[in-house]
Structure 1
Amino acid sequence: DEYLQRFPEQAGVVVGVFARDAKTLFSSEATVAIQAGMAPEVANFRLIKEIGRGGMGVVWLAEQDEPVKRRVALKLIRSELPANDVLARFEAEKQALAMMDHPNIARVLDAGTTDDGRPYFVMELVDGVPITQYCDDHKLSVDERLKLFVSVCKAVQHAHQKGIVHRDLKPS
């Protein structure tokens, strides 16, 4: 934590190195927080479970109550990272996603700030499994896997055309 506070630009590397152990730790922390009624409160959303964690934020499976009832992915900035540069990067990520208009990129649906001042944004929930697992589960041929890969490449190309470089794509 101290290292991440001093060098927030290295968060992706640190999280990537410790991802396997951290995922277990973070998931159990989130479960304990929800069970204890300590999950962050976000107006019009009920946080159900943590589904991802990165250098700046935590992504939650959430249920929106109003104006429509639906399941969404809600990214909330981590409370232990209040530095201005982190806030600026979080805002830039939100704006970059909001510019995307591609069928293979989750759309931003809403954004705001919690009562305790933590920014968040809400995206379409893309429910599924890692692409490698999908390919194995469906016994896709090499040609079918390549077609799927091309669709991923087109989404990445769309982001690149908007001036966005992901910098955290994972093989799966």
Structure 2
Amino acid sequence: MSAASIRLRTRTTAFGRQRGVAAIEFAFVFIFLFLVMYGLVTFGSIFYTQQAVSRAAEDGARAAMLLPQPPDQESVRQVVLDSLARSLVVPISFNTDTASRKNWLSSNVTVAPCSAVPGATTCVVTVTYLYKNNRILPSVSLLDTSWVPDQLQGSATAALKTS
């Protein structure tokens, strides 16, 4: 055997031992990158839902401020539901039209509008969204999802007109 054929055989054997290493490295890196991306997207969806709930509470407080005093509870609740119906927090299966979105929201969102106390100077509207039952993204079994909140709550205060 010549020296060239021994070098070629050694090189081929070394490449044969390295076969599949790139696939294993890719699998480890892919799992890590997937978990990081999933965590970021999940956090973003929770953040978006929290912002939508807070905006709905603000819209309800603004409506309570502009309505005749004392504000009508059902009118404030409808303004909150209208605000949430314009956001992306409703599941796709109930997202066919505005009426179905509002119907779903009325059964999954709690709205505590301001109490109708005569002579009150402020009004607090609180909106509670049950996020645990209505997640935008499904949970992944590899992750501990104890950091995902069970519910999201937003509240807003408005100064009422004094007569």
Q: TM-score, normalised by structure 2?
A: 0.25
Structure with the bigger RCO (C-alpha within 8 Å, sep 6+) is 2
Q: Which has the higher helix share?
A: 2
Q: Give the TM-score normalised by structure 1.
A: 0.24
Structure with the bigger percentage of strand: 1
